Each structure stands twice: as C-alpha cells, then as structure tokens.
Amino acid sequence: MASLGLTFVTALILLVIIMFHAGILIDFIRPSVLQVQLLGIQLLLFGVVVLLAFDASSMFGFTIGLIGLFTGLFGSFRESNTDKSRDQ
C-alpha cells in the first residue's frame, strides 16, 4: 500500500515540476535563482527521507531526489532576472 502512495506522490511531484519548468520557460512565472535552488534542495532532501524510510521502495526516493537535483542545477545555470530588468 505504501508503494501506491509513493507512486502518487512521485507522479504529483513530477507533474508539478514539469509545470514549474514550463512556466519558467514561457516566462509565466519569474522566480529568482535562489528560489529555484531551494526548491531543488527541498525535493532532494525529501527524496533522501523517502529513500531512507522505505527500504522496499527505494526507487521512488531516488527518482524524487534526482528530480530535485536537476531542478537545483537548472536554477544554478539560469540567468538571473535582474539582468533582464536592467536591459529593458
């Protein structure tokens, strides 16, 4: 039963992160670089907690942690919003 719940949580996180990145790419939302990095760190830590808490379902924790790692890296290599606002 925990596997079903973790499947739903992982799918929900994946859906929200895809929507988050799509919103950034179409310039619908403009979070700062730090906010994107903090979201990535929170997802990474949540993935570690899931990985340590559920031995049989370690793939879910690894997947959530990997999503958090990619989100944090995306935030690190993104140009800041202050540069865009100075040009306009």
Question: In this structure, is residue 70 part of a structural domain?
Answer: yes
| Confidence tier at 31 by pLDDT (50, 70, 90) | very high
Question: In this structure, is residue 25 part of a structural domain?
Answer: yes
- Provide the number of structural domains found in the chain: 1
Give the CB-side neighbour count of residue 43, counting CA atoms within 13 A: 26
What is the mean pLDDT of the segment spanning 7-28? 92
Q: By the 8 A CB rule, do 11 and 65 touch?
A: no
Whether residue 65 has pLDDT greater than 70: yes
State the pLDDT at residue 79.
76
Question: In this structure, is residue 88 part of a structural domain?
Answer: no
Question: Mean pLDDT over all residues of the chain?
Answer: 87
pTM of the model: 0.82
Question: In this structure, is residue 16 part of a structural domain?
Answer: yes
Question: In this structure, is residue 54 part of a structural domain?
Answer: yes
Whether residue 71 has pLDDT greater than 90: yes
Question: In this structure, is residue 84 part of a structural domain?
Answer: no
Number of H helices, E strands in the chain: 4, 0
